[in-house]
Structure 1
Amino acid sequence: MIGVYAHHHGNGHLQRAFAVAAAMDDEVTILTSADVGDGVNPDPARIRILPLPLDHDGPGAVAGTIDHVLEPTAGGRLHWAPLGQPGLRQRTAMLTGWIDTHRPTVMWTDISVEVTLAARLTGTPVVSTVLPGRRDDAPHALAHAVCSALVAGWPRSAGAPVPAGAADPLIPVGGVSRFAGRHPVPADRGHGRPRVLHLRGSGGEGRDHRWDAVREELGEVEWVELGGPGGRWISDPWAELCRADVVISAAGQSSVADLAAADAHVVAVPEERPFAEQDDTAAKLEGLGHGAVVGRDSSVEDRISAVRRTLERSRSTPGAGSGLREAWEIDGAAERLAAVLETVSSDPGVRAR
């Protein structure tokens, strides 16, 4: 049995958990506070779900935003462990109780310092995801230090540093995408009226009306918008990703991995996140020569320019992809992460490399 903790913020952690679980032969239990919809689990007989209570009191109840929260960081040593929080107590008891009953051979945490430490304190080997950004604070360093391996969802060409507190470099496995088993149809893009797809995710910020001005200025293009508060959602956006000449998106790890799977031409707009996570991902994307990046504070003119440049590049070779799928190492990423878990599972005393 292998245990997986998937964080509840956004949809990416849960999607990544299912993708990796599907690449394994072992029985897997995913422990999460996220809402798991019907039909999401690819193999219910082998992949089980243990719903966990939230560790806060509702929307907006996160560290540093509510005055009555007591000692949420334990003096700066943790990220979120408020005193007297019933959900936190219940979920920790459920986690350790499940470990005691099922005795998993390894626990993969994606991602939580507190869950990583709780699992390791049961004597269970832990593999944790290292997200992009600057993560040299005391809680991250402690969590990194207790893990048997650290994995990252970006390509090897983007670097394999030794994270703060760790003894060994992390293991880049490439972008883990729910669409890795699909391949874009070349004929779907680059023909007819130029098409721009604007993705607005579930974990992000409010509506940025500067994009409305960009859409109005680019009247010659077909502009399609998906997601965001009050927006149109579809459960499977694959066809839209493949048809678009340009995709405008935030720079979350799962978003970039899905765009890469579709070999999309990307304009990335990193949203503000703790530890500058999306800024770092966008910088990696730009550093590989794939995609344009516009800042959160960029002007309408800068955004128009970025979209037009990307459109020109996309339309110059009708039917061709951007090359991002290969550069971001989508193919085999879930299997590479699964192999790290299996290595630690088979020999807990050896750190995977």
Structure 2
Amino acid sequence: MTRPIGYYVHHQGAGHWHRACAVAGALDRPCAFLGTFAGLDTAGAPGTVIDLPDDRLADGFDGQDGEADRPLSFHYAPLGHSGLRARMARIAAWAAEADPALLVVDVSCEVALFARLLSLPTLVVRLAGTRTDPPHLEAFRSADRLIAPFPEILESETTSDWVRAKTHYAGFLGPGAPVRDGGDGSIAVVFGRGGAGGALADLAAAARAVPDRDWHVLGPVTGEAVTPPNLHLHGWVPDVEPWIARAALVVGGAGDGVVATVAARSKRFVCLPEERGYGEQIEKARGLARLGAAVMHEGWPDASRWRTLVMEGLALEPARIGSLAEPGALARTAAFIAERAAWWDRRGDAAQA
């Protein structure tokens, strides 16, 4: 019987889930998804879904967060949390029952280290940013290999040689080969699930500053304001690609999903990186700007800046960001995971012979 592959999915936003489904859909082995999936539609998942007990701290939790005496290998290890205890027990039970070939961890230093204690090989997804703290380095050290969901050209200068040597650079795991679309001259503003969304007053001011273009806003918007006629709010949409496809310019954060889609569509991009741990989005945005693949602005711009930012964005050469979308990145990464699983299959067979 073919041993399955496990895929641990972090609960922040929807990007980890979409990436996991895309990669697993290209695998030739059965796959099990482990994580807390509240708020996500998992009905079409290409594999078994194991919804784990939530390990987040509830309001009024009176246990100890353990920060004062937490081991240096952990970012998160509260004491007295029954949800966390049940979560880890469920992961261990699944590993014992399923006998998986390996576990892809996207992302959690604690799960990566726990898998090592279970004698379960891991492929740890390594996000962008400066991740030189002890928990990340120990998780990287414990892994069989690392997977970076971005092109090697965007690698951080702070990344150690030994980490680079363990890394499979997957590239952007987005829609596929670069596609150039016609457009209607509009501006698409994209807010992901992992962020705070946009403020309606700020969006209205931006649209007023550039009144000759329609602004289509995808994702959550908060607050109240009088809106100009060229500002269109769509909220959550099942698929942002049609809006991005016809836009002359895309405005958004530096999350993996948005950047992958923009690159695949060779779209001019004004990148407004959001605050994330370890400078993940800021570092990625700086890399894009350095390559001439995007215009970067930290934080939401003042209304007076929008006309210039739009002009700078429209002056970009779309081929720059399009060149970062590698055809076959998903298939290549799935083949890499399958190769590592087969290697561990052979090693397991030899150890038990």
TM-score, normalising length: structure 2: 0.85
Which residue of structure 2 aligns with residue 310 of structure 1? 313
Which residue of structure 2 aligns with residue 121 of structure 1? 117
Which residue of structure 2 aligns with residue 318 of structure 1? none
Whole-Å Cα distance in 2 between the matches of residues 246 and 107 of structure 1?
Answer: 38
Match of 2:189 among 186, 198, 213: 198
For 1:72-151, list aligned pairs within 5 A: 72=67, 74-151=70-147
Q: The residue matched to 1:251 in structure 2 has which SS? A: coil
Deviations 1:296-343 (A, max 9, x none): 1643333431122213447xxxxxx544233242x2222222222122
Matched residue count: 328
Relative to structure 1, is the Cα distance of residues 69 and 278 closer, same or farther in structure 2, using a 3 angstrom cutoff?
farther
Structure 1 position 207 matched with structure 2 position 195: no
Code of the aligned partner of 2:153: S
Contact 2:180 2:266 in 1 (8 A): no
Relative to structure 1, is the Cα distance of residues 16 and 85 closer, same or farther in structure 2, using a 3 angstrom cutoff?
same
Structure 1 position 228 matched with structure 2 position 232: no
Whole-Å Cα distance in 1 between the matches of residues 73 and 152 of structure 2?
Answer: 31
Q: 1:164: how far off?
A: 8.4
Relative to structure 1, is the Cα distance of residues 158 and 185 closer, same or farther in structure 2, using a 3 angstrom cutoff?
closer
Code of the aligned partner of 2:136: H
Structure 1 position 248 matched with structure 2 position 239: no
Which residue of structure 2 aligns with residue 52 of structure 1? 52
Whole-Å Cα distance in 2 between the matches of residues 33 and 229 of structure 1?
Answer: 25
Code of the aligned partner of 2:289: E
Whole-Å Cα distance in 2 between the matches of residues 119 and 97 of structure 1?
Answer: 12
Contact 1:154 1:172 in 2 (8 A): yes
Whole-Å Cα distance in 2 between the matches of residues 68 and 87 of structure 1?
Answer: 12
Match of 1:30 among 22, 29, 33: 33
Contact 1:145 1:167 in 2 (8 A): no
TM-score, normalising length: structure 1: 0.85
Code of the aligned partner of 1:306: L
Whole-Å Cα distance in 2 between the matches of residues 37 and 245 of structure 1?
Answer: 30
Q: Which runs of 5+ in 1 are unaligned?
A: 315-320
Whole-Å Cα distance in 2 between the matches of residues 313 and 289 of structure 1?
Answer: 7
Whole-Å Cα distance in 2 between the matches of residues 304 and 149 of structure 1?
Answer: 45
Q: The residue matched to 2:11 in structure 1 has which SS? A: coil
Q: 1:52: how far off?
A: 0.9
Identity of aligned residues (%): 27
Deviations 1:256-291 (A, max 9, x none): 112212222111100011101100111121122211
Match of 2:14 among 11, 14, 31: 11
Q: The residue matched to 1:97 in structure 2 has which SS? A: helix
Whole-Å Cα distance in 1 between the matches of residues 83 and 336 of structure 2?
Answer: 31
Whole-Å Cα distance in 2 between the matches of residues 166 and 223 of structure 1?
Answer: 42
Whole-Å Cα distance in 1 between the matches of residues 203 and 63 of structure 2?
Answer: 38
Structure 1 position 173 matched with structure 2 position 164: no
Q: Which runs of 5+ in 2 are unaligned?
A: 223-233, 348-353
Whole-Å Cα distance in 1 between the matches of residues 42 and 106 of structure 2?
Answer: 22
Relative to structure 1, is the Cα distance of residues 306 and 277 closer, same or farther in structure 2, using a 3 angstrom cutoff?
same
Relative to structure 1, is the Cα distance of residues 8 and 215 closer, same or farther in structure 2, using a 3 angstrom cutoff?
same
Code of the aligned partner of 2:132: D
Which residue of structure 1 aligns with residue 261 of structure 2? 258
Relative to structure 1, is the Cα distance of residues 160 and 173 closer, same or farther in structure 2, using a 3 angstrom cutoff?
farther
Whole-Å Cα distance in 2 between the matches of residues 6 and 143 of structure 1?
Answer: 16
Whole-Å Cα distance in 2 between the matches of residues 143 and 163 of structure 1?
Answer: 14
Code of the aligned partner of 1:345: A
Relative to structure 1, is the Cα distance of residues 239 and 268 closer, same or farther in structure 2, using a 3 angstrom cutoff?
same
Whole-Å Cα distance in 2 between the matches of residues 297 and 236 of structure 1?
Answer: 24
Whole-Å Cα distance in 2 between the matches of residues 116 and 184 of structure 1?
Answer: 36
Code of the aligned partner of 2:212: E
Code of the aligned partner of 2:172: G
Which residue of structure 2 aligns with residue 317 of structure 1? none
Q: The residue matched to 2:217 in structure 1 has which SS? A: strand
Q: 1:160: how far off?
A: 7.9
Moved more, 151-160 or 253-262: 151-160
Q: Which runs of 4+ in 1 moved over 4 A?
A: 65-68, 160-167
